[in-house]
Amino acid sequence: MDERTRADVERAEAAIVEHYPRLVRLAHLVLPPAMGRHRRVLTAHGIVQRALPSTSRERARAVLPGQRRGPRPEPGYPQVRSRVLELALAQAKLGRRRSPLPFVWGLRLFPRAGGADELALDQALSALTAPARAAVGLRHLEELDEDEVVAVLGAAGVADPGEAQRAAAALGPGTAALLHSGEFDPCTVQARPTDLLRRRQGRRVAIVGAAALTAGAALLTAVGGPGGAPEPARPDPATVRARQALDPERLVRAPDDAWADTSRMDFTAWSPRGEYAGDTALLGRALRVWGAPGRDVRVTAAAGTSTRPPDQPPRVLYGGVIDGVTVAVLHDGDRLVRYAEPEGAPAELEFARADNADLTTAGALVIGRGTGWMRYLIAPWITDATTRDLLRPGAREKALHVAPDGVTDRVPQPPADGAACGQWPVTRLHSSARVTARHSFLLTDLGDLTPVHLTYGPATAAGPAAAPPAEATTPTALLSWARTACSLREERGAGVRSVNNWVYARQRLPESGAAATWTCSRADTWRGPGRVAVQFHPAAGAARVVGRARDTAACSPYGPEVVGETRWRAGSGHWYLLAAGSSAVRGLDVTGAVHRTTRATTFAVAVPANAPVRVAGVLASGGLLHALRR
């Protein structure tokens, strides 16, 4: 091998070692899901390990640079990436046919399961061709632009890279975040045993042959053979920690009044409750199923929540019987886990994120469900609870009975998707005066283990920032939520932590002069990203959503600028373009069929119903912020 080739190979080896997880994730994405999760993981690792060139003929072709943002990869990375794509695309054509794999005996490996969003993306990817999946990886994992994606695919031997690029572009804007989750990470995997009976039969044959070697080794040690007496085997620290984390005798238990003597008001301050909170048999079963759920165990997880076993002994929060179902609730610092043993049915595990919970978001959890109803287990610092219909702000609240173990009576569930939205039950919890004086807050159920905290942001007359969210318990807040509550159905099962209704602008309508309000509803998830919906509320008639955005800081303290626009028909039959910006916007700029710029934050002009018009807000920096659209 000449020096130039040796340098190329050494550079490629450094690139593989440096970016190994990144390359394996890309190869795993290209491979067809029909291979099966175990073989797909091993094949992805095998492809990257075979990507190292060995002769000058195998030097990869030069392609465009990799990422557009962040540190630029070393010169060997683009060549290695191209080689990985070639091998992955070739293997995708072979499908299930044999390929060299890393050796794994007795285990099945597969990535951690994701939530509903990850499952939907996996189904969408399975419908694409291997070149299109490669384009998805280059676009969303490698962050290449369209021209770079086409060039890299062409260098990897794809016949029609343009078609693959167009198919990849059809996926939604949240694809990149989902592809970085554990569902698509073949380097962070779970392990389960293979067929134990078949392995036992094969092992018997191996034991007979190994017995003679073992006896010889023992005799060699007894007579002082090479190396002398072996040192005692030391247990693997990771194995010890994993075993301790699943030991019911090591479960953490907070004192009864821990919540009254701590500044950390979250699930770590919950003391164990329920008649079986000390039942080590029940807790042991819960931990064993958590550590290794069988095939018949029903496992559900809120979006973005890992189902991995605990890394340390978790905290026990509850153990008891709820409507004939034996239930245990555990907390490992980042997640809540509800273990249930329904009578005559397999066990169930439900996971939800609970990191960075606080006084309100740790105020309750859903302890049981049925057809049209659910029960809460409330925090020990809650003194009483009431319920109300969010769609009827003037109606009186009803007392909600709470048992001594913290379990409430049944609460009606909000309507599901597709059902008529005739009511929206919410629960109001009141905190103890030992925590904070005269504090109460609203929670609602959106299908996850943790309920959603509802807040309200009043309109501000001027200033660069929005008013901080307040509890949605005042008459004004309840009136605002009565007009937007039914839109909460769109957030069901999305791992939502809280939803804030921010009234960011008020406007007088043309002709009548009646008042209208503009609201931005922001749903913040436990995993971080938020989703917003801008709603227009005329003085008479139903509110309607006029703009949406995902994975955005808009309508939060980090994104106080927001602009919305809609078409509105007056009583005279004339159509108007209405627009409104928040107080952080310095004016509005209208282009298209109408050209107008104003320093006001609201705007109304008569336009034909279908006239093409674009609205943007003028920022303090002089830049433009386009109105959110549906």
What is the DSSP track for 230-276? PPPPPPPHHHHHHHHHT-GGG-B---TTGGGG-S--SGGGPPPBSTT
Beta strands in 544-623 (DSSP E): 544-550, 563-569, 575-581, 587-592, 596-598, 602-606, 613-618
- The H-assigned helical ranges of 400-488 are 475-484
User: What local confidence, expressed as pLDDT, does residue 158 receive?
Assistant: 87
User: What local confidence, expressed as pLDDT, does residue 111 receive?
Assistant: 73
- Cα separation, 428 vs 393, in Å, equals 13
- 326 - beta bridge partners? 321, 341
Q: Quickly tell me which residue has 């999760």 as its tokens.
A: 37
User: What local confidence, expressed as pLDDT, does residue 68 receive?
Assistant: 37
- Phi first, then psi: give them for residue 326, nearest 5 degrees: -75, 130
Return the closest-CA partner of residue 29 out of 115, 124, 109, 161.
124
Q: Which residues of the chain have pLDDT under 50?
A: 1-4, 55-75, 195, 197-199, 201-209, 211-233
- Phi first, then psi: give them for residue 327, nearest 5 degrees: -130, 140
Q: What angle do CA 609, 610, 613 make, to 5 degrees?
A: 105
Contacts of 465 (CB under 8 A, 6+ apart): 557, 560, 584
- Cα separation, 12 vs 7, in Å, equals 9
Helix or strand run (H / E) with residue 331: strand 325-331
Q: What is the b/e burial string over 460-476, where b = at least 16 CB atoms within 10 angstroms of the residue's CB?
A: beeeeebbebebbbeee
Q: How many CB atoms lie within 10 A of CB 364?
A: 23
- Phi first, then psi: give them for residue 375, nearest 5 degrees: -125, 145
Beta strands in 379-514 (DSSP E): 382-389, 398-400, 411-412, 425-431, 440-444, 452-457, 470-471, 496-508
- Cα separation, 69 vs 80, in Å, equals 19
User: What local confidence, expressed as pLDDT, does residue 461 receive?
Assistant: 56
Q: Quickly tell me which residue has 């000058």 as its tokens.
A: 56
Helix or strand run (H / E) with residue 104: none
| Distance, C-alpha 365 to centroid of its chain | 19
User: What local confidence, expressed as pLDDT, does residue 114 receive?
Assistant: 60
User: What local confidence, expressed as pLDDT, does residue 228 receive?
Assistant: 43
Residue 457 near residue 562, CB atoms below 8 Å: no
- Cα separation, 103 vs 135, in Å, equals 30
Q: Quickly tell me which residue has 């002069």 as its tokens.
A: 513
- Cα separation, 91 vs 98, in Å, equals 9
Return the closest-CA partner of residue 188 out of 420, 74, 25, 391.
25
| Distance, C-alpha 450 to centroid of its chain | 14
User: What local confidence, expressed as pLDDT, does residue 390 receive?
Assistant: 96
